Amino acid sequence: MNDLFALPGNVVGGTLGAGTDIIGGTLGTGSDVLGGGDQFRLTDLVSGEFSIETSKLALVHAHSVHVRDFAQLEINEQQSVAAALGAMPGSVPPRPDQAAMVGELALLRGPRFDHAYIMGQIKGHEELLANNSQAINSDADAAIRRVATLSVPTIETHLAILHRLRAGLASV
């Protein structure tokens, strides 16, 4: 990678594995994963799917190599997060507003794509940050709180990267 991604706190990026001991035990599979954290899980999976779908577009449509690098990082991370939550990427669809944005992004190319992708990622990461921060301080089970605790620093790091990317595009 390059210096743009050399930030501390990238705990999730490819390291969670398939729901194994990094978060304190096997999470299992199936619809009852993580017990009482169904809303947290669903929100994270829906946001993750949006991120994967838009990032796959970025690999093809983005003008900036930095945007493409971030997109690959995001795909890898969201696949790991889905596995940690006991799901497969694509197991839940994005929300209708997110699906509409995927459709809009599919029509864009180059710098216009880069800007729209980054803005969508910032919004998505802000939503994920709120969901994970809330879960840390909730009465959710310990596995949910561990996933959220590991995710928050990574989400914050990604937001810092995205804001730098946005600033870099503004100067072009």
Count the Cβ atoms, other than its own, within 10 Å of residue 33.
18
CA distance 23 to 19: 7
Q: Who wins on pLDDT, 38 or 130?
A: 130
pLDDT at 160: 97
DSSP conformation class of 128: H
Q: Which amino acid is at 123?
A: K
CB 92 within 8 Å of CB 27 = no
DSSP conformation class of 8: S
DSSP conformation class of 56: H
**pLDDT-above-70 percentage for the chain:** 78
CA distance 134 to 42: 14
For 62, the 3-state DSSP assignment is strand
Question: pLDDT, tens digit, for every residue of 10-22?
Answer: 333 333 333 332 2
Count the Cβ atoms, other than its own, within 10 Å of residue 5.
16
CA distance 105 to 103: 5
pTM flag (> 0.85): no
Distance of CA 121 to the CA centre of its chain: 8
Lowest mean pLDDT among 46-50, 137-141, 152-156, 158-162: 137-141
Question: pLDDT, tens digit, for every residue of 64-113?
Answer: 999 999 999 999 999 998 988 889 988 999 999 999 999 999 999 999 99
The pLDDT of residue 169 is above 50: yes
pLDDT at 34: 37
CB 3 within 8 Å of CB 113 = no
Q: Which amino acid is at 172?
A: V
Query: Which residue ranges form the domains of the chain, and what is each CATH number?
Result: 13-20+34-170 (1.20.1260.10)
Instruction: State the chain's mean pLDDT as an integer.
Output: 81
